[in-house]
A = this chain, B = another copy of it.
């Protein structure tokens, strides 16, 4: 009947995500993308529509990977709270070495996008909210298992954790010298917000 696509879509999205993550939406040109994914413009446009759509897929891929990491931390940990701690450690430390940017791609997107790319902006926000919901679910487990006081509100804790991660990653991104990340993570989980 026909011919099937030669390129590996997942691989292309992965590479596009890395580039967008590093350079941002406006800072990345279609020609940059053509180079890293090794495709000609016609093929890219046939497969992904346009620059915005490809960015949207990159955002979703990024979020998906984050969920996988969090899920892996849950499986590898003996308690909900420890899972979160492991997750935070992994994004604050691993990321700083191998990732295209020390900062969260979703946060970078919210920072750079305006109403001129309304859909990408709202998608970034939506995905951040999704992650926060997952944090809340894990905090809820921690409360049910007695790891955290039952007087705490899982949603409030999840919001607190998001703020802390955003803060530390942004701060780390703004400093060239190495930080005492471990101590900052201790600050987060020993905070009166969590333990009080």
Tell me the A residues contacting B by CB distance below 8 Å: 22-24, 26-27, 103, 106-108, 110-112, 114, 116, 124-125, 128-129, 159-160, 162-168, 170-171, 173-176, 184, 187, 190-193
User: CA of A47 to CA of B168 in the docked complex: distance in angstroms?
Assistant: 38
Considering residues A23, A24, A163, which has the most beta carbons from chain B within 10 angstroms of its beta carbon? A163
| Whole-angstrom distance between the Cβ of A48 and the nearest chain B Cβ | 21
Residue numbers in B under 8 Å from A23 (CB-CB):
114, 116
User: CA of A110 to CA of B26 in the docked complex: distance in angstroms?
Assistant: 14
Contact A124/B174 with A111-B111, A168-B163, A187-B160 known, Cβ cut-off 8 Å: yes
Contact A27/B170 with A125-B176, A184-B163, A187-B193 known, Cβ cut-off 8 Å: no
User: CA of A108 to CA of B89 in the docked complex: distance in angstroms?
Assistant: 24
Residue numbers in B under 8 Å from A193 (CB-CB):
187, 191
User: CA of A125 to CA of B171 in the docked complex: distance in angstroms?
Assistant: 10
Residue numbers in B under 8 Å from A114 (CB-CB):
22-24, 27
